[in-house]
Amino acid sequence: MTATSTEPRTTTALTGRPLAEGIRRDARERAAALAAAGTPPRLVVVTATDDGSALWYVRSIAKAAAAVGIDCDVRDLGPSASRARIRDTLRDLNRDPRVHGIILQTPLPEGLSPAGLAVEIDPAKDVDGANPASLGRCAAGLPGFAPATAEAVVRLLDHHGVELAGRDVAMVGRSLVVGTPVALLLLERDATVTVCHSLTAELRDRTSTADIVVVATGVPHLIGADHLREGAVVVDVGTNATDDGLTGDVDADAVEGVAGALTPVPGGVGPVTTALLLSHTVRAADRATG
Amino acid sequence: MTATSTEPRTTTALTGRPLAEGIRRDARERAAALAAAGTPPRLVVVTATDDGSALWYVRSIAKAAAAVGIDCDVRDLGPSASRARIRDTLRDLNRDPRVHGIILQTPLPEGLSPAGLAVEIDPAKDVDGANPASLGRCAAGLPGFAPATAEAVVRLLDHHGVELAGRDVAMVGRSLVVGTPVALLLLERDATVTVCHSLTAELRDRTSTADIVVVATGVPHLIGADHLREGAVVVDVGTNATDDGLTGDVDADAVEGVAGALTPVPGGVGPVTTALLLSHTVRAADRATG
């Protein structure tokens, strides 16, 4: 289609809810089969924080787990838990055959490194891909769990039929839980990937030539119209609580009509991420019992 | 310095030999101290191939190890070794307290995945960073061994005073042993990194805007003058045996006067890689005995 008409262009919403619903439905069926066989899938979320939004997120996971038939325990160690206490809790959970999935919720008490503790999670139970060994396995194409948010980005692009091979991707953000694993997963899918971050000299130059822009920075409305080429596909991983409610890292109003497609916030990457955590837990239980 | 003179520009040679010599000297001193304390550092190279250049490379490692006081055994399993045989050998070496470093030499017998077997190597003995868990640890900034070639690229740039933070890097090649870990290491050093590969649409567009171009493709002379911006720093990881002798992935004659600096082949990344394997082995022995 060439742009000879004078109609304003519109931006397609890359919604995540139908995809999430499909993933949850599949998880629910497999969870029911496992429960019928006497092994209901079980997920444990370890928390060591009093951060309100983290605890809200954990409750939403527990509720979503219950809805698909996964037993979900929250093991709250409190905001002053020591490194040794968290480590020993993870080791106990590794050894417990009734536990199939383990999530170590961030933030942790000050001074504790999430990756430094996540190395303790058995990769077979590491349903949010937090252990650096899981990251390496995902780079190597070996079986293992990718961080759910990173996998959600790729699943969402696939679901909406966005071609990846040979396309230029700008990944804005380099965290271990999103930016880095998204880059590794998209490289495996034959995209050409540029990882940008807060020290990138001219962010606009990097993003405005890309076919696909994925943003995970935690900076509300960082990406505007002049960061994008016309028709770019934009995935917004940001979920920032502001006075105006939940908002993404992309200024959705500003990029309307410039971006060819954009994931909404909320309703884009988020629901797919939660659904994948449940799906991973069921898969871990399947393997453990199979 | 501004380019007002009409003198032809010259390309600086980023030699690796002086850096390698310094790394070896340090390894030799620490190896002597360990031997004096009754624990000479020991490296085992596992081979399962009759590939001539691989075996030549292994002999050169063994010779370099001997020269710094590291005992080096080559455990040759032959070109038809089974997966189980290689796996069991690696597990035995993990358990052997006299062995501090383990290298699994590629190529492996057809059908065997190097990463799939390298997951067996204890990360504490994985001196060439071949276990995907080592890759993940290096992405997470946790203690562990990076693949020696990837670390050599960064050490060489540091040695020659090339600034990394905020610079644009084009990494050409995405292998697990070079391209991917180089990208991860340079991201950790605050560079903006684009990973390109054989399916990248317009390689020239990606490389010709970069401040630093790292090439690891195994394609002789892939990179010429029109791939580079004037003054770019170029690291050539390629070592291709051709009728004209050993040659890199960069056409050195063509880029002379365009590249600001270029690593020679041979004499650039190669000697630093070998020196780092020895240094890693001594460090592993230090930790095991410390």
CB contacts, 8 Å: B116 with chain A: 140, 142
H/E stretch holding B103 reads strand B101-104
On whether B175 is known to bind a ligand per the annotation, the reply is yes
Question: Mind telling me how many Å the CA of A191 is from chain B's nearest CA?
Answer: 7
A77 falls within a domain:
yes
Tell whether B137 is covered by a domain.
Answer: no
What's the burial of B253, exposed, middle or buried (CB within 10 Å: 0-12/13-18/19+)? exposed
B141–A136 C-beta distance less than 8 A: no
Give per-residue pLDDT as tens, B67-88. 999 999 999 999 999 999 999 9
CB of B197 within 8 Å of any CB in chain A?
Answer: yes
Same domain, B71 and B170: no
Q: How confident is the model at residue B8 (pLDDT cuts 50, 70, 90)?
A: confident
Any domain includes B6? no
CA B75 to chain centre: 22
Q: Does B155 share its domain with B265? A: yes
Contact A200 B166 (CB under 8 A): yes
Percentage of chain A exceeding pLDDT 70: 98
Residues in chain A with CB shorter than 8 Å from the CB of B135 are: 135-136, 139-140
Chain B interface includes A166 (CB < 8 A):
yes
Closest CA to A41 of A98, A103, A104, A95: A98
Q: Are strands A245-247 and A261-262 parallel, antiparallel or unpaired?
A: unpaired
Same-domain check for residues B117 and B221: no
A-B C-beta contacts closer than 8 Å: 107
- Residue at B276 is within a domain: no
Residues of A with Cβ-Cβ distance to B163 under 8 angstroms: none
pLDDT bracket for residue A290 (50, 70, 90)? confident
Residue A254's pLDDT band, with cuts at 50, 70 and 90, is very high
Do the Cβ atoms of B192 and A187 come within 8 Å? no
Q: Is residue B239 annotated as involved in ligand binding? A: yes
Q: What share of chain B is helix, strand, coil (3-state, %, to 5)?
A: 40, 15, 40
Q: How many domains does chain B have?
A: 2
In the numeric block, which tokens belong to residue B251? Answer: 């056409």
Interval B99-111 mean pLDDT: 97
Distance from CA of A38 to the nearest CA of B (A): 33
Are A153 and A221 part of one and the same domain? yes
Q: Does A121 touch chain B (CB under 8 A)?
A: no
Indicate if B247 and B187 belong to the same structural domain: yes
| Binary contact (B192, A192; C-beta < 8 A) | no
The answer, yes or no, to whether residue B2 has pLDDT greater than 60, is no
CA distance A189 to chain B (A): 10
pLDDT digits (tens, 9 = 90+) for B213-269: 999 999 999 999 999 999 999 999 999 988 888 899 999 999 999 999 999 999 999
- Touching check for B195 and chain A: CB below 8 Å? yes
Q: Is A105 a member of any domain? A: yes
* Chain A residues inside the 8 Å CB shell of B176: 139-140
Q: Return the bridge partners of B212, or none.
A: B169, B233
CATH of the domain at A172: 3.40.50.720
Q: How confident is the model at residue A1 (pLDDT cuts 50, 70, 90)?
A: very low
Q: What is the pLDDT of residues A218-248, one digit of tens each?
A: 999 999 999 999 999 999 999 998 888 889 9
pLDDT digits (tens, 9 = 90+) for A68-115: 999 999 999 999 999 999 999 999 999 999 999 999 999 999 999 999
Calculate mean pLDDT across residues B86-109.
98
Mean pLDDT, chain B, integer: 95
Give A117→chain B minimum CA distance, Å.
11
Gap between the Cα atoms of A140 and B118, Å rounded? 11
Instruction: Note the pLDDT of residue A6.
Output: 63
| A12 located within any domain | no
Q: Which CATH number fits the domain that encloses residue A62?
A: 3.40.50.10860
B269-286 mean pLDDT: 98
A157-216 residue pLDDT tens: 999 999 999 999 999 999 999 999 999 999 999 999 999 999 999 999 999 999 999 999
pLDDT class of B194 with cuts at 50, 70, 90: very high
**What is the least distance, in Å, from the CA of B204 to any CA of chain A?**
13
A210 and A159 fall within a common domain: yes
Q: Give a yes or no: residue B25 inside a domain.
A: no
Nearest to A192 among B140, B192, B201 (CB): B201
At residue B5, does pLDDT exceed 80? Answer: no
As given in the structure block, the two tokens for residue B34 are 């360990």
Residues with Cβ within 8 Å of residue A222, at least 6 apart in sequence: A172, A215, A238, A249, A250
- B84 φ, ψ (degrees, to nearest 5): -65, -40
Q: Do A136 and B139 touch (CB under 8 A)?
A: yes
Q: In sequence order, what E strands does chain A have?
A: 12-13, 42-47, 71-76, 101-104, 168-172, 192-196, 212-215, 233-236, 240-242, 245-247, 261-262
Q: Is A289 domain-assigned?
A: no
Q: Do B153 and B117 belong to one domain?
A: no
> Measured between CB atoms, does B66 come within 8 Å of chain A?
no
- Looking at beta carbons, which residues of chain B come within 8 Å of A119? 137, 142
| B208 contact A CB<8A | no
Tens of pLDDT along B29-62? 999 999 999 999 999 999 999 999 899 999 999 9
Give me the pLDDT at residue B6, please: 63
pLDDT of A7 strictly over 90:
no
Extract the tokens encoding B6. 């009409």
C-alpha to C-alpha distance for A262 and A154, rounded to whole angstroms? 14
Of B116, B165, B195, the CB nearest to A193: B195
What mean pLDDT value characterizes chain A? 95
Q: In chain A, whose CA is at the least distance from the CA of B169?
A: A194
Residue B117, domain extent: 40-123
> Peptide bond before B271: cis, by omega within 30 degrees of 0?
no
Same domain, B114 and B161: no
Is there a single domain that holds both residue B112 and residue B168?
A: no
Give chain A's end-to-end CA distance (angstroms, integer).
Answer: 50
pLDDT tens figures, B142-187: 999 999 999 999 999 999 999 999 999 999 999 999 999 999 999 9
Looking at chain B, which residue has its C-alpha nearest residue A146? B136
**Nearest CA distance, B199 vs chain A (angstrom):** 5
One domain, residues B218 and B262 = yes
Task: State residue B1's pLDDT score.
Answer: 45
Q: What is the pLDDT of residue B51?
A: 93
The beta-carbon neighbor of B176 closest among A131, A140, A206 is A140
Residue of B195, B198, B205, B213 to mutate, testing the A interface (most A Cβ within 10 Å of its Cβ) = B195
Task: Tell me: do B170 and B82 sit in the same domain.
Answer: no
Q: Choose among B147, B122, B152: nearest CA to B135.
A: B147
Q: So what's the pLDDT on residue B213?
A: 98
By 3-state DSSP, what share of chain A in percent is helix, strand and coil, each rounded to 5? 40, 15, 40
Same domain for A201 and A162: yes
Which three-class secondary structure string do you get for A48-65? CCCCHHHHHHHHHHHHHH
Q: What is the mean pLDDT of residues B119-145?
A: 95
- Which residues on A lie below 8 Å from B192 (Cβ)? 194-197, 199-201, 206
